[in-house]
Chains A and B, each alone.
Chain A
């Protein structure tokens, strides 16, 4: 059972391969807004190191944002194309959920920083989202003691959590942007 995990929501590109739900290959590369040059070569490197063909993938997990619009879009485009063409299951996790499931907590606000503001998601101890994701500009953001910014990601916990997530039709896999763009306001 080979699971491909793609996370391109920030300037850190993460491509992992899990074998039978255990971390097998871990790739983490910093990029300077050069997602396009970097993602596919890293994916190929990961497959080569694992000595598997892309056709041997059984499942895909993709982090679908929020984060860098372009970064997320490219990771999601690659992931949904792989899932559609290879006809394998695909699941999405948000950039906030992967943090929430990586540690034990009561009700908590997971914070994802970006250049001009923060994305916020409140999760209960079962990692269920309470309310909706929001975006606040730096000037609007008032930190609270429930806020958690930095979380060491635990990939074994993340991959185990995906057992609770339902697969979606690959056509319907899309980024979540949260932040509105000018013309939509």
Chain B
């Protein structure tokens, strides 16, 4: 069969990224332009500034992506773009950019859900083995998903309140760590011991998660200690928090693996860059004697290679979008399929 090249475009938050991916799993060229330094000075992503920077940089990111590969735009078989979920203004820049390329080269336009993109980051340099269980962990998601085939999703459980990434960011803030909070807690936890006794999140037998109780407990603990003039051992608290949160993820994944027979466990989303989580999930998969996949660090955070990878099954099924495609700030992975 002829090789299929897809150009992926991602602009859902504060990264402008493009990638050329062959047959859904070989990355030919890859660029990520992060705006993190700009937003860090505001303590978080400012949506209007993010949108502005996408428009400023988008043609340069394309130029950079083309420079790294011998593949020309005219050789591309389809243009894939993140259309949801994310910051609306930012998504729209990528969507209109993608339509323009599709118009010029008369190549199909493929609308990709960002969360599904994170799952398909595991298809890069790899072949997904179905059925599989995917743990999706990010600033907006904490989901356990059963996949019986490409784009066949069944949500086993989700967070009832805060997403794990959100919880990391809020705990980072109360510990006085700079934005982005997640990676900074991970770093700090490496230097600490789990000496703080923290409450276990929902201790039930569903596949759902809850992190707001843990978050509130830590915020109260820090305030109380501050009021009493006691010093917080930040490294130890970070370690205690991380252990509790990841134990909960591990427990629910094990619960699912005990009941649902699958061939592979995959982890996806921004929090999958967390070292402790990566180690624990690998142990779980080994214990259950199933395949295990977690993306390379560079494909854990927002990037376009995963968008092109997720577009490949849609390309084969000829599920194309037209020029009236709109961006959506919210979208469940079940909604579209």
A interface, CB within 8 angstroms of B? 34-41, 43-44, 54-55, 69-70, 73-74, 76-78, 80-82, 84-86, 170-171, 174-175, 177, 181, 183
Chain B residues positioned under 8 Å from A76 (CB to CB)? 55
Structural contact, B104 and A86, CB atoms closer than 8 A: yes
Structural contact, A77 and B97, CB atoms closer than 8 A: yes
Q: Which of B46, B48, B49, B55 meets A77, CB within 8 Å?
A: B55
Structural contact, B96 and A39, CB atoms closer than 8 A: yes
Chain B residues positioned under 8 Å from A82 (CB to CB)? 100, 104
Query: Distance (Å) between the CB of B7 and the closest chain A CB?
Result: 12
Chain A residues positioned under 8 Å from B55 (CB to CB)? 73, 76-77, 80, 174-175
User: Hey, what's the 0/1 contact readout for B300-337 against A, CB within 8 Å counting as 1?
Assistant: 00000000000000000000000111110000000000
List the 4 closest A-B pairs by CB distance, nearest first. Answer: A40-B323, A81-B100, A84-B59, A40-B99
- B interface, how many residues as a size bin? 20 to 34
Given A77-B93, A81-B100, 14 new contacts (CB under 8 A)? A36-B92, A37-B324, A37-B326, A40-B103, A40-B323, A73-B51, A76-B55, A77-B96, A78-B99, A78-B100, A81-B62, A85-B100, A85-B104, A183-B42
Query: Distance (Å) between the CB of A158 and the closest chain B CB?
Result: 23
The 8 sampled A-B contact pairs (Cβ below 8 Å) are A70-B51, A73-B52, A73-B93, A74-B96, A80-B59, A81-B100, A84-B62, A181-B46
Chain A residues positioned under 8 Å from B124 (CB to CB)? none
Known contacts being A37-B326, A84-B59, is A44 close to B103, with CB within 8 Å? Answer: yes
Chain B residues positioned under 8 Å from A34 (CB to CB)? 326
Count of inter-chain pairs, beta carbons less than 8 A: 87
CA distance A49 to B57 in the complex (A): 32
Known contacts being A81-B97, A181-B48, is A55 close to B92, with CB within 8 Å? Answer: no
CA distance A85 to B324 in the complex (A): 21
B interface, CB within 8 angstroms of A? 42, 46, 48-49, 51-52, 55-56, 58-60, 62-63, 73, 89, 92-93, 95-97, 99-101, 103-104, 323-327
Chain B residues positioned under 8 Å from A80 (CB to CB)? 55, 58-59
Query: Distance (Å) between the CB of B233 and the closest chain A CB?
Result: 34
Q: Which of A38, A39, A55, A69 meets B89, CB within 8 Å?
A: A69
Closest residue to A174 on the B side, CB-wise? Answer: B56
Chain B residues positioned under 8 Å from A84 (CB to CB)? 59, 62-63
Structural contact, B96 and A78, CB atoms closer than 8 A: yes
Chain B residues positioned under 8 Å from A69 (CB to CB)? 48, 51, 89
Structural contact, A43 and B51, CB atoms closer than 8 A: no
Structural contact, A40 and B96, CB atoms closer than 8 A: yes
Query: Distance (Å) between the CB of A37 and the closest chain B CB?
Result: 5
CA distance A177 to B103 in the complex (A): 28
Query: Distance (Å) between the CB of B60 and the closest chain A CB?
Result: 5
Chain B residues positioned under 8 Å from A74 (CB to CB)? 92-93, 96
CA distance A41 to B102 in the complex (A): 12
Closest residue to A84 on the B side, CB-wise? Answer: B59
CA distance A76 to B103 in the complex (A): 16
Q: Which of B48, B49, B52, B59 meets A81, CB within 8 Å?
A: B59
CA distance A80 to B58 in the complex (A): 9
CA distance A80 to B97 in the complex (A): 9
Structural contact, B104 and A77, CB atoms closer than 8 A: no
Structural contact, B49 and A181, CB atoms closer than 8 A: yes
Closest residue to A43 on the B side, CB-wise? Answer: B103
CA distance A43 to B102 in the complex (A): 13
CA distance A171 to B100 in the complex (A): 15
Chain B residues positioned under 8 Å from A35 (CB to CB)? 92
Chain A residues positioned under 8 Å from B104 (CB to CB)? 54-55, 82, 85-86
Structural contact, B59 and A171, CB atoms closer than 8 A: yes
Structural contact, A175 and B52, CB atoms closer than 8 A: yes
Chain A residues positioned under 8 Å from B95 (CB to CB)? 36
CA distance A175 to B55 in the complex (A): 8
Structural contact, A73 and B92, CB atoms closer than 8 A: yes
Query: Distance (Å) between the CB of A87 and the closest chain B CB?
Result: 11
Chain B residues positioned under 8 Å from A36 (CB to CB)? 92, 95-96, 325-327
Closest residue to A57 on the B side, CB-wise? Answer: B104
CA distance A81 to B89 in the complex (A): 17
Chain A residues positioned under 8 Å from B100 (CB to CB)? 40, 77-78, 81-82, 85
